[in-house]
């Protein structure tokens, strides 16, 4: 079984440190940048860590579980 990769989307101050754990960091400082980062995720990403602001920008419909979508988790405040 091939393991997918993990990505994080959100403000630089909140996601940069995750790179130390091998997470692909996508810095997105505003809702438009968050949506662009989400659309640009490679197909190898199976888990996406979102900041609260990023999750809000994407909306529940985008991050809801679906067969062809990566699993998402929202960082606690």
What are 1-41's pLDDT values in tens digits? 567 999 999 999 999 999 999 999 999 999 999 999 999 99
- Give the total number of structural domains in the chain: 1
Nearest to 53 by CA among 2, 7, 15, 4: 15
The residue that leads in pLDDT, 64 or 24, is 24
> In degrees to the nearest 10, what's the CA dihedral of 66, 69, 75, 76?
0
Report yes or no on whether pTM surpasses 0.85: yes
The answer to whether residue 56 scores a pLDDT higher than 90 is: yes
Which pLDDT belongs to residue 67? 85
The answer to whether residue 50 scores a pLDDT higher than 60 is: yes
Q: Which domain holds residue 39?
A: 5-74
Query: For position 46, which CATH number holds?
Result: 3.40.50.10580
Which pLDDT belongs to residue 47? 96
């Amino acid at each position: 079984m091939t393991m997918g990769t993990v990505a994080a989307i959100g403000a630089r101050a909140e996601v940069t440190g995750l790179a130390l754990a091998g997470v692909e960091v996508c810095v997105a400082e505003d809702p438009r940048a968050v949506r662009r980062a989400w659309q640009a995720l490679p197909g190898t990403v199976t888990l996406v860590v979102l900041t609260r602001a990023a999750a809000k920008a994407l909306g529940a419909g985008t991050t809801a579980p679906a067969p062809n979508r990566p699993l998402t988790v929202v960082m606690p405040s």
